Amino acid sequence: MRVMGVDPGLTRCGIALVESGGGRSVTALDVDVVRTPASMDLADRLLLVYSAAVQWLETHRPQVVAVERVFAQQQVSTAMGTAQAAGVVALAAAQHDVPVRFHTPSEVKAAVTGSGRADKAQVTTMVTRILGMQTRPTPADAADALALAICQCWRGPMDDRLVAAQAKAEELARVHRARLKAAHAAAVRAGQ
């Protein structure tokens, strides 16, 4: 499976592509960081991130895009920029019929290091080891994008099965409730 991992951000947006093989085998195919200057107009910065995402989607043809889920941060302006960047990446993926999966930072850390509280250095070290890279990916946004893609490779199939199982369970429950309702209605009619 080819996965495009995206660590969204306006100043630096990490983008990576990995391919999973048998078991937990994962290979890095490409990684980059899209940079936009803070002095640039917001709309133009978002256009640069969007255009980079489109180029990656069209060049690499991933089967899924893994994006870091935005969570509450100390600075609202940082959270807003991160959310906006994530939004344009998700839009680009949707326009190319590529599913998007969101992972929280703690899910990603737990997937690659075994601890949801790992720091950036630990994540970078484990990404380097997992992918068998000779040098550490820099900046941290590149390592985070690779970590997101690895997380999707390892957790995604299980998460998809859980979602499918939950949908099936909900459908079975709906059918069961409909049968109970019909049986109750039939019993009421028979008692009249």
Q: Quote the CA–CA distance of 66 and 181 in Å, as a whole number.
A: 42
Q: Given 7, 58, 160, 170, which residue is catalytic?
A: 7
3-state secondary structure 98-131: CCEEEECHHHHHHHHHCCCCCCHHHHHHHHHHHH
| Residues 139, 145, 150, 151, CA torsion sign | positive
Strand 64-68 to strand 26-35: parallel, antiparallel, or no bridges (unpaired)? unpaired
27 by DSSP, 3-state: which?
Answer: strand
| Contact by Cβ (8 Å): 84, 46 | yes
44 belongs to the catalytic site: no
CA distances from 32 to 59, 95, 134, 146 (A): 14, 22, 16, 10
Q: Given 30, 58, 68, 144, which residue is catalytic?
A: 68
Length of the chain: 192
Q: Given 97, 119, 141, 159, which residue is catalytic?
A: 141
Of 173, 115, 183, 130, residue with least CA distance to 5: 130
68 belongs to the catalytic site: yes
Where in the sequence numbering do the catalytic residues fall? 7, 68, 141
